[in-house]
Structure 1
Amino acid sequence: MRIYLPLQPPILEPVQDSSYRYREFLPCKALEPYVACYWTVEFDASYGRRLHRIIPDGCVDIIFDLKAPSFSKGAMVAGFMTSYETIYLTESRASFGIRFFVEQARRWIGHSISELTGRTVFLEDVWGAEASLAVEQVQEAGSVQAIIGLVESMLLEKLRHHEYPVDPLIRSGLQHLYAGRGMLSVRTLAEKLCYSERSVRRRFQKELGISPKELANIVQFQSLLQELRKGTSSALSDLAAKYGYFDQPHFIHMFKRFYGLTPHRILKQDVRFLQS
């Protein structure tokens, strides 16, 4: 059973809009430790523009543009995000994404994850000519299920033949953060890892380009979103206390920082959260 399941706004705020569709798909069992999910976005611009919101989820994505005219520029790597982003979709698009857990991303991308934090680069910049071939194959695959089958074959092949060892401290550190739903101080995390706080901070910064505290904040926030998705009758003040926020104002501040909206706005937009 997975202990960390990151969410994005379209899952939390489902909308009745025939021009816009966001879906997620789970990976096969062998890839579960590495891939959070596959996802697709389809948008028909003939109905007008649409706001697309992206929030920090503790992951790194490879994104294929299924309509890109150039194979060499048809895929991107989106690095670790530390704040929300909003994009107005104005042109029709179809995208397929692979969402990797941040501690596992280098194994597949073959490039320093710390250098990608807060950035988006062409996949060609990190994979070279292999990127164009991958884009061509993905675009020609057709259906989403066919794309998933193709992508999983690629990933499993890399798993068998390309070794990018994950730093043991980073791997163990993330497992502690996931299990603790992000509610661990750097001191407590360091004690669990049997390292000094300074060593833990330096290693996270070197390998991931982010501090352990910032990553813990994102895991904490995402863990709370999971509870909201399940439906809860708890008051916001109770949720804030349960997930380690000092008080409701602190909770609202962090929610706006990562989501761009207050939790009250989300609750009003989806009655499921009010009918637990």
Structure 2
Amino acid sequence: MLKPYVEGYYYIALDCSSSDPLDIHPIGYNTIAFTLNPQAVFKPDSGSDYNFNLSYHGYISKYISLIPLQAFIKMIVVSFTTNGASQLFGISQPELINQIIPIEDVISGSGTLKEKLEENMSCERKAISSIERWLLEQLPKKEPSRYAQNIDYACNLIQLRYGNIRIADLCLEVNMSQTNLEDHFKQMIGISPKHYCRIIRFIAVYRFILNNSHIDWSALVHRYNFFDQAHFIHDFKTFFGYSPSKIHLANAHLAKGLTLEI
């Protein structure tokens, strides 16, 4: 019943003993996260600590750096389908872009989930079960937006083509006017279709860099239809915080200490 909305559940263990920042970058979907640590675990590179352990993450469209406050951090992350959070919770997304905020500030009635999770902080499996039961309670009581399927289809097309699709062609494919597509896309996803195309293209590049030991950078720029290498590097750093060559060289280091279990 949750399949149209939820992509998966992840248990994540982070070794933060080196005190290196945690890099947050675009991943293409929304998440909620519950940290299995009783104290605050992160703070932004400027600003106050995050003193909440159950958070809603709006669509991330830029690089964000978090400073770890604990040597070892455990968390459960729920990843949603591209349009899942919007449809499941009925939340308008634009004002939540690049925001990591307490879930009770976004979703009414989430206090009971927070209490249940705090009771099960020592057992990740019980915590995941509590989250799943709560999500089932959130299933919409009314029909989804008449354009929800159109927006899902638009997102799928953009992903399949790695962001290389003209908006005019996208409108024809999903049978919507450009104004209608842009309005509903922004309401449900949080950003414009054009911006989403850029992010999906850079996510594809990021994955290519991580999965290939040898890279011809000029060929990569041509492969993904970038204007030139200078623009590519500048925009890549906006989304991922580092130059593509630095991420490629430091891949093993950046991945150290991260474990995922579905």
Shorter-chain TM-score: what band? 0.7 to 0.9
Amino acid at match of 1:113: Q
1:2-17 to 2 correspondences below 5 Å: none
Provide the C-alpha distance between the structure 2 equivalents of 1:224 and 1:37, rounded to a whole number of angstroms: 23
SS of the residue corresponding to residue 91 of structure 1 reads coil
Corresponding position: 1:154 with 2:134 = yes
Match of 1:54 among 13, 18, 24: 24
Bigger Cα displacement from structure 2, 104-113 vs 216-225: 104-113
Provide the C-alpha distance between the structure 2 equivalents of 1:41 and 1:113, rounded to a whole number of angstroms: 25
Percent identity, please. 25
Q: 2:187 maps to what in 1? A: 206
SS of the residue corresponding to residue 198 of structure 1 reads helix
Provide the C-alpha distance between the structure 1 equivalents of 2:136 and 2:224, rounded to a whole number of angstroms: 36
Q: 1:26 maps to what in 2? A: none
Q: 2:48 maps to what in 1? A: none
Shift in CA distance, 204/153, structure 1 to aligned 2, threshold 3 Å? same
Calculate the TM-score normalised by the size of structure 1.
0.74
Contact preservation (8 Å) 2:89, 2:138: no
Shift in CA distance, 33/230, structure 1 to aligned 2, threshold 3 Å? farther
1:204-243 to 2 correspondences below 5 Å: 204-231=185-212, 233-243=214-224
Provide the C-alpha distance between the structure 1 equivalents of 2:142 and 2:230, rounded to a whole number of angstroms: 46
- Give the number of aligned pairs: 239
Q: 1:67 maps to what in 2? A: 37
Gaps in structure 1 of 5+ consecutive residues: 1-29
Shift in CA distance, 153/229, structure 1 to aligned 2, threshold 3 Å? farther
Q: 1:95 maps to what in 2? A: 75
Corresponding position: 1:181 with 2:162 = yes
Bigger Cα displacement from structure 2, 143-152 vs 58-67: 143-152
1:82-121 to 2 correspondences below 5 Å: 82-91=61-70, 93-121=73-101
Q: CA deviation at 1:179?
A: 1.5
Higher relative CO (Cα under 8 Å, sequence separation at least 6) belongs to: 2
Q: 1:8 maps to what in 2? A: none
SS of the residue corresponding to residue 70 of structure 2 reads coil
Shift in CA distance, 164/66, structure 1 to aligned 2, threshold 3 Å? farther
Q: 1:15 maps to what in 2? A: none
Amino acid at match of 1:34: Y
SS of the residue corresponding to residue 182 of structure 1 reads coil
Kindly report the root-mean-square deviation, in angstroms, between the aligned alpha carbons of the 2 structures.
Answer: 2.9
Gaps in structure 2 of 5+ consecutive residues: 41-50, 254-262
Shift in CA distance, 51/188, structure 1 to aligned 2, threshold 3 Å? same
Q: CA deviation at 1:43?
A: 5.1
Contact preservation (8 Å) 2:92, 2:187: no
